[in-house]
Structure 1
Amino acid sequence: MNGRIPTSVLRAAAKQARVAMTRKYSSPQGLGAIGIAAFLVAIIWFFRDADFMDAVGAAAYLFAGFLALTVISGAMLTIASEIQLERESGTLLRAKAIPHGITGHLLAKLMSVPVELAIAVVPMLIGIALITPEALPSGAGRWVVLVATMLLGTASMLPWGAVLGSIFRTMIGMSVAMLVIYGVTAVSGFFFPVTMLPGWAQSLVQLTPIYWVGLGLRGAMLPESAAAVEIGGVWRSELTVLVLVGWAVLGLVLATVFLRRMARRQSGSTVAAARERVMARGY
């Protein structure tokens, strides 16, 4: 084994990603993404004339927070829940029976995530451009930085979604994990300046990649003056890049370990046991 992925596997993964996205976005579940975007834009419109600590407009700040939340949800939580469900439904077991099946299945998910994030973000961008265009980045350079930061944030979150999906074996366990992650998100500066928290809480949130995803997107979108409400009064762009790259590398290493262990443990008996548990308990 030379560690290279055959071209046929890449083609199959691309086809699988295309079919999965076509099914998803031609269903009410996929179309609901537009409704969510409209709801978030309405919230931003409500705060269009407000400011945070007289230093940054609330509309622009909240928009950056919603973009960061989209990255967290799409790149980590969606992948985690899909892997957990597919393990119980037998999808991963069927993929395991095919040469490079697990690899191709996961590659399909990695290919689809950036497209799905774009589908979630574009309606928000259109809405913001119509109601409060000053909340959008100014200049082509800032747009390039924004896109690059979103891709880096996605890369840092994706492997952790795979880790979560491999660790939690039941939907109730996954639901608890998601609640914890949303709780961390709520206090990581997405919707209000993190400097409003006590010093010990500020130190704790900086230990998570979630905080740095939000900081990176705020730094890409907001003016320099908005850094006044951040820790240290600066954006810390270089440190943000290093931290997110570090989390991405660590996540890739752990995801490889956990996914291989999960694949080894997949069998017909484990899938049958999961189905019996769901029928008996409902989860």
Structure 2
Amino acid sequence: MNASAGRAISDYQIQFLYRPGKHLSLGQFETLAGELRECAATCFEEVPAYQCLVETREALSDKVLAVAWRRDGHIGGLCSAVLLPVEGVGEVFHLGLTCVRPEDRSAGLTHILTSKVAVEYLLRRRPLSKVWLTNAACVLSSLGNVALYFDEVYPGPEFAEQPGETHLRIARAISEDHREKMFVHTDARFDEDAFVFRRANAGNCFQKKAEDTRFHHRRADLNDYYSNLMGWSDGDVVLQVGSFSLLTGARYFGSRLLSSLRSRGAKVRVSARPHKGTQAA
């Protein structure tokens, strides 16, 4: 019998961390950095030097994270977003990395952690306006979920055929200034017509195969739409640009939004491990 059978969200403590590299004590930082990499090691053959998995304070100083702590004091899953400065737009929220241990995948942590990190960031930074977001991926389930659960997503089957001015401004800024934050090769070509980085993942741990259905979305039309934008064997990556607001949260993250509103300002003790004093939001 699978050891994770019957595991529920009540088995975890969900913590929100805002720019943790700026304020955690040395002990808290070292424990968090080690636990993040330990969780990621169950998802990659070799943990990449990428995003929140780089063990420096600087690497965790522009990140917003939601982590699911298990009762044994280890991280069962994580969702880490990067805050990117874009001239003329402000702070852009990049949905960077989600990892869930194989034995913890029965609890629906991917959706819970993504909604937690997005809603908490929105309530902290832009409660009365909208946040621009990006996602760079070749994973069809990720691309499909962003298209479904966020607003103004380009490219996307339910948005305009052409990107808006802000979509273009953000995409160009990412191509010029923020490739490293997305693990995109410096020599990858940005196809502005398709919003695709050509050969961005060629040969690295993020490249996927078209026939690997583990990474497909449940909706075939979304799989077809995004597959047609990419050259799988070339390691292409789709760049999505969209937005979200409290209205988005009410539509798609309703229960998580209500929970966050009720608990604003509450302190969260994460685990028995050395994170004492760390706060949520």
> Which protein is richer in helix relative to its size?
1
> Which protein is richer in strand relative to its size?
2
Larger Rg: 1
